[in-house]
Chains A and B, each alone.
Chain A
Amino acid sequence: MNKLASSCQVNGALIRVTDLCKTYDNGIDLIHVLHDVNLKVYPGEIVAIMGPSGSGKSTLLFILGIFLHPTSGSYFLGGQDVLGLDRNAQAEFRRRRVGFVFQSCDLLENSTVYENLEFPLIYAGVDRQDRPERIAAALERVNLGHRIHHSSNRLSGGERQRVAVARALVNQPQVILADEPTGQLDRTHGHSILDHFAEIVSDGKTAIIVVTHDPEIAAECTRVSLIRDGVLYEQ
């Protein structure tokens, strides 16, 4: 555990997940995807969640982004009971407090980089005149300021992933959830994304949870948790 992380823990957990379970009923059996998951994430941390395919990593991340609801358990973010939110409050939660980076570096097709970053600001009700500055700042953080008006279809894989990171950052969320953010990148670009993450959490207010298969990427994170058969183990 590095110095940054240990200093953050003093201030209390940003995310607190307790006894979280997720079970699917396929009509024949009950499939237990997550068993009594307990997780605390502190501001300034980058937490890696590793595990084999089908172990429940993405399900946990989707629950943290409240794209999915758990079968039981509790989930607090910044002291707020997230699971008690209604549908509109969940959308509010996603646009104000969470940024998501998807595995397949999903950008809006046939749109420019600017337009991709503008949508979270539109949904957050940010004034139109304030958007260019915030978009430029987010892109600068991932060294893509010069690509602001390029079409997303013409970007390389690494650039697309960095745009996705910038998009997750643009509303200055408390938590960034990244599902295999380096999965489609080469080693250099993968490490570059992690460098960006490190810079983001250096403000001591933001936390990042990264789902990854790559031990090298995990090694660069503050903390690593292993998930196997739906059970989360702290390493």
Chain B
Amino acid sequence: MRLNDLMRVSLRQVMRHRRRYTGVVLAIALGVAGFLNIVTMSREVKKNFNENLDLIGGVTILRIYFDNQRSYRPQWFREQTLAALKRLDGVKELSLTAVKYSQTNFQGRHFAFTTMAVDEGFWQVRNFWPLTGKLFGLDAVTGHKREVVLGAELAKKIFGDTHVRGKDLEINQEIYLVSGVLGGVTDSGLANSVFLPLTTAEDRFPGRLLADRLYLRCATWDDVTAVAAAIPGIVKSCQSPEELHVEGSWEALKRVQLLAWWIEFLIYLATSATFLLGGVGIWNVMMAAVTSRTREIGLKKAMGAEDRDILAQFLSEALCLSVGAALLGAGLGRIMMEFLSYIIESRPPENLFFFGVTLAFLFAVVIGVGAGLYPSIRASRMEVVTAIRYE
């Protein structure tokens, strides 16, 4: 029997008995759609979780710093080190900072606080947002502007309010414009700090300002360990790594990874169960088909069909079912992927989808052959007389 005849006859049979096969096809299609979305969207969803660091406790942020108090030769992060770290796989963004202690007098009262000199990426890396007013951006950093953002607690201490945008604040006897108050902070140290552009601090603060702290955000929590391990080597390749420290929320990271592992495992389990059910379903319907089509098998053998013709026909019908279901699942998966991408505003790479589709089709072929083989062999081995006389 020629291949094109085989495919035509099998497709025709499947289409004519489509009602019998609906449940099985839907089961496999849903399995494929779920599988495709795990393959394509899991990384995007993880990335999306990372956007909302409150949800996972900032576990993807690493704090890298030189402990200059313990070193005779103070260190700071050089341009080439920053560039090398940005190129590292799994690094999403980083922010350079420096810390100084400052003071102010307001309406006759004296306040001492930590001043953090930060670049424009700091808010994004730490996932901070303005409680009131706005957080200064690239223009303030490149323009060396005298703008500051206050921690909420400090704003309340100094001004008695958090709505302080446009007010003046004197720091080290220079006047700065308050652009906003920082929100999204749970650390009391940061809530009592003042933030100003790194460039401005370099210009105006007395003494040498060492940008010796770096906040680095990884793309997903799975990247954190590898990135942390790679950092000392990269720093060493660009500058002295003396008294370099890399800190992360290791305990929280373990908990998040464990939780994510279970979620992923359960999704895979559900998908595998769907595939398995689909396979059992194909086995069942093919066995039923062999029984109900016994006379047809006998007739075809009487017309001259060889055992392998009958085997090939039933096997290709099983394959048509599983591959057809995979095709439907791919369509369904694409729709789900588009919907999820829209919801989380992030698209996976297109080749990842095609990789998933290829894998799903391979699964479908394995299921089709695996589940259809025994019924097909049974059909092919029927004796002509037994099959023809079957009532």
On A, residues with C-beta under 8 Å from B are 62, 65, 67-68, 87-88, 91-92, 94-96, 100, 102, 106, 108-110, 115, 119-120, 122-125, 128, 167, 171
Q: Is the CB of A123 within 8 A of B305?
A: yes
In the complex, whether B303 has a CB less than 8 A from a CB of chain A is yes
- Contact assessment for A91 and B296 in the assembled complex, using a CB-CB cutoff below 8 Å: no
Return A86 CB to nearest CB of chain B, in Å.
Answer: 11
Say yes or no: A124 contacts B304, CB within 8 Å: yes
Q: Known: A67-B302, A67-B385, A68-B385. Is A108-B296 also a contact (CB below 8 A)?
A: yes
Chain A residue nearest in CB terms to B383: A67
CB-CB nearest in chain A for B13 = A110
Return chain A residues, CB-CB under 8 Å to B305.
Answer: 91, 95, 119, 123
Question: What is the interface of chain B, defined by CB distance below 8 A to chain A?
Answer: 1-2, 4-5, 9, 12, 16, 295-296, 299-307, 309, 383-385, 388
Q: What A residues does B295 contact at CB under 8 A?
A: 106
In the complex, what residues of A have CB within 8 A of residue B306's CB? 87-88, 91-92, 123
Q: How far is the CA of A96 from the CA of B385 in the complex (A)?
A: 19
Residues of A within 8 A of B300 (CB): 119, 123
**Are B16 and A120 in contact (CB-based, < 8 A)?**
no
A106: B residues at CB distance < 8 A: 295, 299, 388
Q: Which residue in A119, A125, A171 is a CB contact (below 8 Å) of B2?
A: A125
Q: In whole angstroms, how far apart are the Cα atoms of A91 and B302 in the complex?
A: 8
Give A92 to B303 CA distance when docked, in angstroms: 9
Q: How far is the CB of B130 from chain A (nearest CB, A)?
A: 70
Could you tell me the distance between the alpha carbons of A87 and B308 in the complex, rounded to whole angstroms?
11
If A87-B306, A102-B302 are given as contacts, then 20 extra A-B residue pairs at C-beta distance below 8 Å, sorted by A number, are A65-B302, A67-B383, A67-B388, A68-B385, A88-B306, A91-B304, A91-B306, A94-B301, A95-B305, A108-B296, A108-B299, A110-B16, A119-B300, A119-B303, A119-B305, A120-B303, A120-B304, A122-B1, A124-B304, A128-B4
Is there an interface contact between B304 and A94, defined as CB atoms closer than 8 Å?
yes
Asked whether A122 lies within 8 Å of B388 as measured between CB atoms, the reply is no
Whole-angstrom CA separation of A167 from B299 in the bound complex: 11
Q: How far is the CB of A95 from chain B (nearest CB, A)?
A: 2
Query: What is the CB-to-nearest-CB distance from A120 to chain B, in angstroms, rounded to a whole number?
Result: 4
- CB atoms of B388 and A102 under 8 A apart: yes
Chain A residues near B296 (CB-CB < 8 A):
108-109
Q: How far is the CB of B313 from chain A (nearest CB, A)?
A: 10
| CB–CB B384/A67 < 8 A | yes
B302's partner among A100, A115, A125 (CB-CB below 8 A) is: A100
State how many angstroms separate the Cβ of A9 from the closest Cβ of chain B. 29
Please name all residues of chain B whose beta carbon is closer than 8 Å to the beta carbon of A87 when the two chains form the complex. 306-307
List, in ascending order, chain B residues with CB within 8 A of A123's CB. 1, 300, 303-306, 309
Closest 8 A/B residue pairs (Cβ): A95-B304, A67-B384, A91-B306, A123-B304, A94-B304, A120-B303, A67-B385, A122-B5
Query: Which residues of chain A are near B301, meaning CB under 8 Å?
Result: 91, 94
Q: How distant is B5 from chain A, measured CB to nearest CB, in Å?
A: 5
Residue of B nearest to A94 (CB): B304
B307 touches A167 (CB 8 A): no
Contacts of B299 in A (CB 8 A): 102, 106, 108
Residues of B within 8 A of A125 (CB): 2
CA distance A93 to B54 in the complex (A): 78
Q: Which among B2, B12, B302 is the interface contact of A94 at CB below 8 angstroms?
A: B302
Shortest Cβ distance from residue A91 to the other chain B in the assembled complex, whole angstroms: 4
Q: What residues of A have a CB within 8 angstroms of the CB of B385 in the complex?
A: 62, 67-68
A102 and B302 alpha carbons, distance in the complex (Å): 10
Closest beta carbon of chain B to A64's beta carbon, Å: 12
CA distance A119 to B302 in the complex (A): 11
A171 to B302, CA, bound (A): 13
Closest to A110 in B: B16
Could you list some 30 contacts between A and B, CB below 8 A?
Answer: A67-B302, A67-B388, A87-B306, A88-B307, A91-B304, A91-B305, A91-B306, A91-B307, A92-B304, A92-B306, A95-B303, A96-B304, A100-B303, A102-B299, A106-B295, A108-B296, A109-B296, A110-B16, A115-B12, A119-B300, A119-B305, A122-B1, A122-B2, A122-B5, A122-B9, A123-B303, A123-B309, A124-B304, A167-B303, A171-B304
* Chain A residue with Cβ nearest B17: A110
Interface centre among A95, A120, A122, by most chain B C-beta atoms within 10 angstroms, is A122
Q: How far is the CB of A77 from chain B (nearest CB, A)?
A: 15
A94 engages B388 (CB within 8 Å): no
**Complex-state Cα separation, A65 to B374, whole angstroms:** 28
Q: Evaluate contact between B307 and A94: CB separation under 8 angstroms.
A: no
A108 and B9 alpha carbons, distance in the complex (Å):
12
Specify the chain A residue showing the minimal Cβ separation from B16. A110
Chain A residues positioned under 8 Å from B4 (CB to CB)? 128
Q: Which residues of A contact B5 (CB under 8 A)?
A: 122, 128
- Closest chain A residue, CB of each to CB of B384: A67
| B12: chain A residues within 8 A (beta carbon) | 115
List, in ascending order, chain A residues with CB within 8 A of B304's CB: 91-92, 94-96, 120, 123-124, 171
Query: Closest CB-CB distance, A155 to chain B, in whole Å?
Result: 16
Of the listed residues B4, B296, B304, B309, the one surrounded by the most CB atoms of chain A closer than 10 A to its CB is B304
- Residue of A with least CB distance to B295: A106
Contacts of A124 in B (CB 8 A): 304
List, in ascending order, chain A residues with CB within 8 A of B309's CB.
91, 123
